[in-house]
């Protein structure tokens, strides 16, 4: 149990993950314990059911979308590297990182990547646009049955109106980012 | 060959003598005091020595970690989530304010609202309140058992030697000692007391004047089957519970022959009326022993108290709450029944350092006229959680094996809708 977790993750792997995601050594070992405790099948990967077993996640209205974000296109299992890569988006931006050089690859937790993560939660078909339907879907997930279709429709229309600048009745990533500035 | 014979007999004699000595020691120091309920205080000294050793071991590990420049993860001091738990509305307003910096009249919906649910979701993936209750507790300091070792890798030779020595002692010395005692049982109470000594259990009972009386129900938080041994060695109880298979089932059947216990089949447990009827009959007979029930329904890892099933609180008898708290430094008493069975569990118990726990008998409670069974159950649960220093959770212990109900999700959705629609109404009015 405990000793198994720390022996299966080799030091070189920890270094690689550290470089890719920016998490510290102890954070990585901690998250590896968490990964193994979620992995009930003990095969080194997590499936969607493993995530859904977390009650507080199952009651989150956007739970399913968030779980989907961990799985790459068309796959049903995520390994520890993929797990960490997705979690890395949520690491707070530290002060010493803001002034890093612009030549290296963009860190996973940059502002732009964080916004991209949220954008992908809306944009199901991955066409880089949030259409009215996609927005309605997410809205419906967040409010459940408590708001009527017409009211929800008008909320969606108003939001798109405010955000849309090139007149295509959809929100592109650039327009999404502008909203948050 | 002839030369070996006298030598052999010498060895045999020595062995015989040492065994006799060992048995007499056993008798004198363990069984006799158990019969008379007297303690020698040796275990207290043992406990103090162990604590000192653990502290030294942890210091060495921390020093070793500092040399390598890897700060250790301490679950309670610097958690992995920077959490500020506020309400849904507060947090969404905060997100909107920090993002657009627009005018203060809150619009009904913004694309950035999704960040709140997103962040909450990821936080629960990293660490949630419920699933961690079903696995062993993480300790701040290491207690030389590799099973509790998340953080601590090979640091120094001295530490490894100490750990090796500890293992040697535990497996070769403490285990056989305990096995011999475990196999001898005669009278119920004496047997329980021997078990207590066998596990080197150091139990502190508080407020014994509140001990359960006949015709009442004793309610306690559940961590392991050892809870039963601990409570039963200090009083007489009739037990209610599920029939298990394997070693546990054998023990249960043996116990029924001596005392009027109430065991149920799993399928019968679901039939709540039947259970309630049998319990009510038992309770109304004032000569019958108090019933011992664990309303959580499953073993929890002793850091929290989960939802109490209301069945036992509907009967209307006096409830005597008991809080049991184990000290995790000496051995983790939690039985993770989905990970390993009874025999493995007993082995783990017998090879830990000791079982140290405190038992508090709380004053009896009865259901007030204006509260229903659920509220009464929650009141008892809070009292137990407060006394034992455990976290009081509303989550159902059944979540160990089953999925959560959808009603909780609907509550979240309702909260959020109220927030958007409420503002919309304000707008349309102006």
Residue with the larger pLDDT of the pair B284 and B166? B284
How high is the ipTM of this complex?
0.82
CB < 8 Å to B72, chain A: 26
- Please give the average per-residue pLDDT across B213-227, as a whole number: 84
- Checking if the pLDDT of B146 tops 80, the result is no
pLDDT in tens, A134-163: 888 888 888 888 888 898 888 888 888 888
Run of H or E residues at B25: helix B4-26
The residues near A150 (Cβ < 8 Å, ≥ 6 apart) are none
Distance from CA of B410 to the nearest CA of A (A): 7
pLDDT confidence bin for A4, thresholds 50/70/90: very low
First to last CA, chain A: 46
Higher pLDDT, B310 or B161: B310
Asked if A178 is an interface residue toward chain B (Cβ–Cβ < 8 A), one would say no
A53 touches B: beta carbon within 8 Å: yes
Q: Cβ contacts (< 8 Å) between A26 and chain B: which residues?
A: 70-73, 151
List B residues 13-72 in contact with A (Cβ-Cβ < 8 A): 70-72
pLDDT over 60 (residue A1): no
Confirm or reject contact between B137 and chain A (CB < 8 A).
no
Overall average pLDDT of the B74-103 stretch: 63
Binned at pLDDT 50, 70 and 90, residue B261 comes out as low
Choose between B206 and B193: higher pLDDT.
B206
On whether any CB of chain B is under 8 Å from the CB of A146, the answer is: yes
Give the pLDDT band (50/70/90) at residue B83: low
Instruction: Say if residue B33's pLDDT is above 60.
Output: no
Is A165's Cβ below 8 Å from some Cβ in B? Answer: no
Helix (H, G, I), strand (E, B) or coil at B414: helix
Q: What is the pTM of this model?
A: 0.62
Q: Quote the pLDDT of residue B131.
A: 77
Mean predicted confidence (pLDDT) in B235-241? 75
| Per-residue pLDDT at B276 | 73
Name all contacts of A132-140 with Cβ < 8 Å and 24+ positions apart.
Answer: A132/A156, A132/A157, A132/A160, A132/A169, A132/A170, A135/A159, A135/A160, A135/A171, A138/A62, A138/A65, A138/B114, A139/B109
Averaged pLDDT of chain B:
71
Average pLDDT, chain A: 83
Rounded to whole angstroms, the Cα distance separating A159 from B87 reads 24
Nearest CA in chain A to B413: A143
Top-ranked range on mean pLDDT: pick from A53-62, B204-213, B344-353 = A53-62
Say if B177 is an interface residue toward chain A (CB within 8 Å): no
């Amino acid at each position: 149990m405990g000793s198994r977790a720390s022996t299966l993750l080799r030091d070189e792997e920890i270094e690689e993950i550290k470089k890719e995601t920016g998490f510290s050594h102890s954070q990585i070992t901690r998250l590896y314990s968490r990964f193994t405790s979620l992995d009930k099948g003990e095969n080194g990967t997590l499936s969607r059911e493993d995530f859904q077993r977390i009650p507080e996640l199952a009651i989150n209205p956007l739970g399913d979308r968030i779980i989907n974000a961990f799985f790459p296109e068309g796959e049903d299992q995520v390994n520890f590297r993929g797990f960490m890569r997705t979690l890395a988006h949520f690491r707070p931006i530290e002060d010493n990182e803001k002034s890093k050089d612009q030549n290296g690859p963009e860190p996973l937790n940059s502002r732009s990547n964080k916004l991209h993560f949220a954008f992908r939660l809306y944009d199901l078909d991955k066409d880089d646009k949030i259409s009215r339907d996609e927005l309605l879907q997410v809205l419906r997930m967040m409010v459940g049955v408590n708001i009527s279709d017409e009211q929800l429709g008008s909320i969606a229309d108003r939001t798109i109106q405010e955000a849309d600048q090139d007149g295509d009745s959809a929100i592109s990533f650039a327009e999404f980012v502008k909203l948050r500035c | 060959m002839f030369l070996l014979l006298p030598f052999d007999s010498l060895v045999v004699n020595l062995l015989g003598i040492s065994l006799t000595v060992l048995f007499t020691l056993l008798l004198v120091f363990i069984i006799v005091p158990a019969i008379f309920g007297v303690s020698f205080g040796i275990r207290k000294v043992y406990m103090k020595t162990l604590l000192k050793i653990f502290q030294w071991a942890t210091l060495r590990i921390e020093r070793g970690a500092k040399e390598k420049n890897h700060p250790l993860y301490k679950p309670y001091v610097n958690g992995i989530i920077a959490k500020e738990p506020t309400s849904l509305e507060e947090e969404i307003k905060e997100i909107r304010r920090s993002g657009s910096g627009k005018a203060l009249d809150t619009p009904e919906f913004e694309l950035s609202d999704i960040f709140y649910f997103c962040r909450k979701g990821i936080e629960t993936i990293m660490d949630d309140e419920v699933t961690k209750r079903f696995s062993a507790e993480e300790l701040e300091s290491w207690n030389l058992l590799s099973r509790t070792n998340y953080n601590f890798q090979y640091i120094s030779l001295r530490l490894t030697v100490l750990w090796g020595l500890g293992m040697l002692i535990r497996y070769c010395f403490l285990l056989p000692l305990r096995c011999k005692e475990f196999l001898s049982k005669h009278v119920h109470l004496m047997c329980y007391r021997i078990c207590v000594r066998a596990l080197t259990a150091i139990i502190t009972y508080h407020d014994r004047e509140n001990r359960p009386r006949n015709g009442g129900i004793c309610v306690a938080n559940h961590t392991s089957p050892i809870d039963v041994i601990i409570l039963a060695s200090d009083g007489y109880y009739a037990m209610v519970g599920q029939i298990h298979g394997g070693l546990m089932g054998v023990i249960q059947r043996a116990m029924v022959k001596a005392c009027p216990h109430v065991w149920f089949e799993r399928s019968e447990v679901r039939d709540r009326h039947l259970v309630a009827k049998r319990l009510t009959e038992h309770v109304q007979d004032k000569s019958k022993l108090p019933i011992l029930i664990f309303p959580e329904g499953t073993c929890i890892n002793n850091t929290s108290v989960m939802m109490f099933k209301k069945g036992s609180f509907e009967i209307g008898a006096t409830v005597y709450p008991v809080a049991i708290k184990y000290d995790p430094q000496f051995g983790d008493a939690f039985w993770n029944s989905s990970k390993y069975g009874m025999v493995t569990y007993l082995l783990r118990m017998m090879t830990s350092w000791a079982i140290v726990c405190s038992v508090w008998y709380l004053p009896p409670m009865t259901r007030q006229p204006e509260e229903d069974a659920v509220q009464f159950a929650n009141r008892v649960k809070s009292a137990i959680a407060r006394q034992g220093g455990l976290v009081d959770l509303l989550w159902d212990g059944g979540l160990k094996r089953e999925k959560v109900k959808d009603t909780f999700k609907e509550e979240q959705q309702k909260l959020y809708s109220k927030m958007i629609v409420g503002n919309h109404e304000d707008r349309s009015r102006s």
